[in-house]
């Protein structure tokens, strides 16, 4: 075997842990720690108040203004009620209620296909870059 095999074998031996070894228990502890961190962040995001400025909604993880939806976004399902009104005029929606629209070719790139007879949710003008 070549000179590279010794180094490779040593690396594989070091990285391959057997069941019940300390490496597996370290991994299990890190998974538990990751879950606790994610839960804490999720809880903190839920307690966060609504932004008070338009810019605060721009990249907010939980809420979005209707005027700040991109042309490829839509509030779905259609009957969803807004969480509130921004300055008494503009509806505020949860990010979880916003869906991204995809074209037929974008669905195919994801390995999916549009069902026969399905109608488009939204039709854009012919000069749109999204239509390409």
How do residues 25-82 score in pLDDT, each as one tens digit?
667 888 888 999 999 988 887 788 888 899 999 988 889 999 999 988 999 888 899 9
Mean pLDDT of 1-12: 74
CA of 109: how far to CAs of 26, 58, 124, in Å?
A: 38, 28, 20
Phi-psi domain of 117 (left: phi exceeds 0; alpha: psi -120 through 50; beta: other): left
pTM of the model: 0.60
Structure tokens at 124: 């854009």
How do residues 15-37 score in pLDDT, each as one tens digit?
776 545 555 566 788 888 899 99
Phi-psi domain of 127 (left: phi exceeds 0; alpha: psi -120 through 50; beta: other): alpha
The Cα–Cα gap between 41 and 35 comes to: 10
């Amino acid at each position: 075997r070549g000179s590279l095999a010794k180094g490779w074998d040593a690396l594989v031996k070091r990285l391959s842990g057997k069941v019940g070894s300390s490496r597996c228990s370290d991994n299990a502890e890190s998974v538990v720690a990751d879950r606790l961190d994610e839960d804490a962040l999720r809880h903190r995001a839920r307690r966060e108040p609504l932004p008070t400025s338009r810019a605060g909604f721009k990249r907010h993880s939980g809420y979005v203004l209707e005027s700040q939806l991109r042309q490829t976004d839509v509030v779905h399902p259609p009957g969803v009620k807004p969480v509130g009104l921004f300055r008494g005029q503009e509806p505020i929606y949860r990010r979880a209620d916003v869906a991204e629209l995809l074209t037929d070719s974008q669905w195919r790139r994801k390995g999916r296909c549009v069902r026969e007879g399905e109608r488009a949710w939204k039709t854009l003008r012919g000069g749109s870059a999204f239509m390409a």
